[in-house]
Amino acid sequence: MYAFNYHKPKTLAEAQALIGKLPEGKLLAGGHTLIPTLKQRLAQPSDLIDIGGIAELKGLTVTASAVTIGAGTRHDEVARSAEVKKAIPALALLASGIGDRQVRARGTIGGSLANSDPAADYPGAVLGLGATVHTTKRTIKADDFFKGMFETALDEGEIITKVEFPVPKRAGYMKFANPASRYVMVGSFVAETAGGIRVAINGAGPCAFRWAEAEKALAAKFAAASVEGLKHKADGLNSDIHASAEYRAHLITVMTKRAVAQAGG
């Protein structure tokens, strides 16, 4: 790990000011993507700006139409929230299965989304539910947010403040987890929303993406059998020591069927 300067701002305004004048600095929330990168010397920021303790980035609110989660809210808080379990059960279930207990106690939704790690769960929920990402500069629709592996629509110095999830008619999430780390290898988040059917796949490709073919089939009939004969192409999917692109393509269909069944289809 390279040497760096450490800052711990108390407010969002302080954090914004610091990142504005430290162009080689990096924001730190839970650290589950950034810290391993630092340990492997794959990144060399001049400064770390720890926003994990900023109160205005924490907490969640639930209304009849939306679940809004502060960017600094820990995974475990979402998983244990009775209000989230009632409004969007699939979202609480997703949060309860992120990594292990230690990861859920420290990891944040904002950090998960800002890094766009292929092995992250939250991108599936954001894209599957058609959520809106709020930042210090603007709001970004889910369909415009994820650009590639570790790449998002965020500008330099832009900080995620909260994420707004519309409450769907029904939704389900299933994933095939790495047996050692519990991180997602292939996940599918299926939701019937006010705007139609959405199917988001995470873990399989460089970043979360929608599966249009499955959405069309489920719009005709919301049932697991509707996607049984569908096959996603292996081209462009991740391939590593854990699973080939072909195997991940197969799992996309399997996890989507299970997610539909979980949603009540």
Q: So what's the pLDDT on residue 213?
A: 98
Measured CA distances, 200 to 34, 53, 164 (Å): 25, 31, 17
Q: So what's the pLDDT on residue 36?
A: 84
Confidence of residue 23 (pLDDT cuts 50, 70, 90): confident
Burial of residue 42 (CB within 10 Å: 0-12, 13-18, 19+) is exposed
Same domain assignment for residues 32 and 105 = no
Confidence of residue 154 (pLDDT cuts 50, 70, 90): very high
Task: Using the predicted structure, report yes or no on whether residue 265 has a pLDDT greater than 80.
Answer: no
| Domain span holding position 32 | 5-48
Model pLDDT for residues 51-62, shown as the tens digit of each residue: 999 999 999 999
- Angle (deg, nearest 10), helices 89-96 and 122-129: 170
Task: Using the predicted structure, report yes or no on whether residue 114 has a pLDDT greater than 80.
Answer: yes
Same domain assignment for residues 42 and 93 = no
Q: So what's the pLDDT on residue 34?
A: 85
Same domain assignment for residues 30 and 155 = no
Same domain assignment for residues 144 and 32 = no
Confidence of residue 256 (pLDDT cuts 50, 70, 90): very high
Same domain assignment for residues 72 and 35 = no
What proportion of the chain, given as a percentage, has pLDDT over 70? 100
Same domain assignment for residues 175 and 240 = yes
User: Measured between alpha carbons, how far is 53 from 9 in angstroms, rounded to an integer?
Assistant: 8
Same domain assignment for residues 139 and 173 = yes
Confidence of residue 35 (pLDDT cuts 50, 70, 90): confident
Task: Using the predicted structure, report yes or no on whether residue 144 has a pLDDT greater than 90.
Answer: yes
> b vs e for 87-116, b when ≥16 Cβ sit within 10 Å of the residue's Cβ?
bbbbbbbbbebbbeeebbebbbbbbbbbbb
Q: Check if the beta carbon of residue 128 is closer than 8 Å to that of residue 189.
A: yes
This prediction has a pTM of: 0.94
Q: Which residue has the higher pLDDT, 40 or 237?
A: 237
Same domain assignment for residues 43 and 103 = no
Same domain assignment for residues 140 and 207 = yes
Average pLDDT, stretch 151-167? 96
Same domain assignment for residues 83 and 26 = no
Average pLDDT, stretch 63-80? 97
Model pLDDT for residues 200-228, shown as the tens digit of each residue: 999 999 999 999 999 999 999 999 999 99
Average pLDDT, stretch 124-131? 98
Q: Please state, rounded to an integer, the average pLDDT across all residues of the chain.
A: 95
Domain count, the chain: 2
Same domain assignment for residues 19 and 148 = no
Instruction: Dig out the tokens for 88 from the structure.
Output: 């969007």
Q: So what's the pLDDT on residue 182?
A: 85
